Chain A
Amino acid sequence: MKCREFVDFLMEYLDGSLPDGQHATFRRHMEECPPCELYLDTYRETVRLGKTCCEEPEGPVPADAPEALIEAILAARREGR
């Protein structure tokens, strides 16, 4: 396995959906290739950062909805739209 293929299989490896044979090849490559092991760590870190940085306590506190929008929603409801 080359680094390029290792990268192709990263997601399936992390999902646990890599077939047994490929899983063993993937693990073997990782043990022999420190850059790929680091790449896996940073890929995993990317997923974690994407999630935590977009969750609301970390994200900006949303302002109230504009009054015109609130009124439009309530009017549409009254009209039975």
Chain B
Amino acid sequence: MAEDSSDKDLIERMLRGEEDAFEELVRNYGGRLLAVTRRYLPSEDDARDAVQDAFLSAFRSLDRFERQARLSTWLHRIAVNAALMKLRTRRRKPEQSIEELLPGFLEDGHFAQQTPGWRTAEFEDVAERRELAKLVRSSIDRLPVGYRNVLMLRDIEEFNTEETALAMGISLNAVKTRLHRARLALRELLEPHMRRESK
């Protein structure tokens, strides 16, 4: 991956219209942006279209790129927005319910099941941490899409509530509710693998 100084040079060359600079940008960042759009779009064709849309959008707004920003971060954001835009153009399927993934309570309002502690600290070496990362990513993938995308935008991409609401086309309150429920559901999905006594 290019360093920041060569990224600045790349921007200057593109602003001067040097054709090979555009190709260099696409080759440097294309794979990374495709990995980003695939997180949001299950169809490979859609993910690739979103990458194309993202680069074309970036080319059009090069003169607005703030030089103190990181090129990778700027492109990443554009790719996320392109993916969400593509998602909105797809026919909406009925939203999958998240209820069955939420914690259960007794009638008196107490937890229906015990709350065990987690053994996160036991994931020490690189291989174990890689396995844990795989588990977390696959659990996020199991969340209903409208919840998963809010969690991805807020907790992973670090969009704020307003930016998430705008990107998803939902209200601020819906962002807050979905984020909390997505976290609760993710917690429930992780718990059987993380509880201390299960090892």
Contact = CB atoms under 8 A, between A and B. Distances in A.
Interface string A69-81: 1101110110001
Interface residues of B, number: 49
A74 to B, nearest CB: 6
Label chain B's interface by main secondary structure.
helix
A50 interface: yes
A1 B187 CA distance: 22
A66 B183 contact: no
B132 A11 contact: no
Nearest to A1: B109
A80 B97 CA distance: 43
Contact of B109 (A2, A46, A60): A2
A45 to B, nearest CB: 6
B94 interface: no
Contact of A4 (B27, B34, B109, B151): B109
A57 to B, nearest CB: 10
B59 A46 contact: no
B133 A59 contact: yes
A41 B116 CA distance: 10
Given A11-B176, A54-B156, A70 B109 contact: no
B52 A72 contact: yes
Interface in B48-92: 48, 51-52, 55-56, 59
Nearest to A2: B109
B52 A76 contact: yes
A46 B190 contact: yes
Interface of A: 2-5, 7, 10-11, 35-36, 38-39, 41-43, 45-47, 49-56, 58-60, 62-66, 69-70, 72-74, 76-77, 81
Q: Across chains A and B, which 10 residue pairs bring their CB atoms closest together, nearest first?
A: A2-B109, A65-B30, A62-B35, A53-B136, A53-B133, A35-B115, A46-B187, A62-B31, A11-B180, A4-B109
Given A53-B132, A70-B30, A81-B56, 6 more contacts: A7-B103, A10-B180, A42-B118, A47-B183, A54-B133, A77-B22
